[in-house]
Amino acid sequence: MKFLDLARVHIRSGSGGNGCASFRREKFVEYGGPDGGDGGRGGDVWVEAVDGLNTLIDFRYQQHFFAGNGRPGMGRQKTGVSGDDIVLRVPVGTEILEEDEETLIADMTELGQRVLLARGGNGGWGNLHFKTATNQAPRHANPGQEGVERTIWLRLKLIADAGLLGMPNAGKSTFLAATSNARPKIADYPFTTLHPNLGVVGIDGVEFVIADIPGLIEGAHEGRGIGDRFLGHVERCAVLLHLIDGTSEDVVADYRTIINELEAYGGHLADKPRITALNKIDALDEDERAEKIAALEAEIDRPVLAMSGVSREGIADVLRALKAEIDEDRLRHHAGGDEDETWRP
């Protein structure tokens, strides 16, 4: 299934049915009077967050969603049938935006959450409604109310507890594959990852979700490379794991590049708790490890972890550091968990 995190759709609620203007015509009944029924209500347009979806690909092939119109009223005080509602089913974490792509209508962060996007029009009153003591034979009825038509954007921001950041080929996908059952594409060229991947990792009897996004390069906020389009998928994370390629010529410059892109992206992304780890230490000797870790620690003024996604050295320490930054209510305790249990690939 292809990944799609942005979709433009057109919606329209149903129009209400017209009211009916009719009169009773019965044999041997001298005074019949009005008996026109009301029109039915138009259908509503709803959006609902459902389980089992992690992409908006369905909205690539269908962009128009119209609710049913109400049926007109009829004689003998018969009300018209109301139009059918229509429901847009989206993944948890989807934002509903106005056509300007900025004004937020709703943020679908909970499973089963439903939001009304367009209310159907009311049905028109039949002439029975207009009968009074001075107007006992009204000959007019109201038309149904028109439905609401609008264009909206759906933008998906994946729900994850921790997010991976780094330059292309920093080893993010390798780390995710080593710690979870996720199988992202791994290769020895830049931009191997073209869309976000999610993986569930376990450490010390608890589980949490990690999101891997495509690598960032200098100028990503201006559209270079894949750009900062996928940074929205780590906005909801409680902590960020910044992986730095230990084989890089200048690890401090790589660190600054990512931090500058986070700050240029805006919002609170740069202020989120962040764990920094030097990756690919299996390709370094002891002196190189110590030198690069010392340079990074001098730059960020806090400890830097060392790990390798290939040899799996230091992975448990990184996962424990991530777990410590995640709120307890976001962690999922798995059955039979052991406090001394390490990560479970």
Digit-coded pLDDT (tens) for 258-304: 888 888 877 677 888 899 999 999 888 888 889 999 999 999 888 99
Structure tokens at 193: 């990852």
**Are both 1-156 and 162-333 of the same fold?**
no
User: Does 282 count as an annotated binding residue?
Assistant: yes
User: Does 194 count as an annotated binding residue?
Assistant: yes
pLDDT of res. 94: 92
Q: Which residues contact 146 (CB under 8 A, 6 or more apart)?
A: 15, 16, 121
pLDDT of res. 224: 60
Q: Where are the domains of the chain?
A: 1-156, 162-333
pLDDT higher than 80, residue 215: no
Structure tokens at 17: 């049915």
CA angle 210/47/163 to nearest 5° reads: 10
Nearest one of 52, 236, 73 to 140, comparing CA atoms: 73
User: Does 213 count as an annotated binding residue?
Assistant: yes
pLDDT tens, residue by residue, 161-209: 888 888 888 888 888 888 887 665 554 545 555 567 778 888 888 888 8
User: Does 167 count as an annotated binding residue?
Assistant: yes
pLDDT of res. 189: 45
User: Does 169 count as an annotated binding residue?
Assistant: yes
User: Does 180 count as an annotated binding residue?
Assistant: no
Higher pLDDT, 52 or 155: 155
Q: Which residues contact 157 (CB under 8 A, 6 or more apart)?
A: 5, 93, 94, 95, 232, 233, 235, 236
Structure tokens at 339: 């406090």
Q: Tell me if the domain spanning 1-156 has CATH number 2.70.210.12.
A: yes
**Into which CATH architecture does domain 162-333 fall?**
3-Layer(aba) Sandwich (3.40)
User: Does 140 count as an annotated binding residue?
Assistant: no
Enter the pTM of the model: 0.75
Nearest one of 247, 215, 243, 250 to 229, comparing CA atoms: 215
pLDDT of res. 15: 96
Tell me the pLDDT band of 328, cut-offs 50, 70 and 90: confident
pLDDT higher than 50, residue 338: no
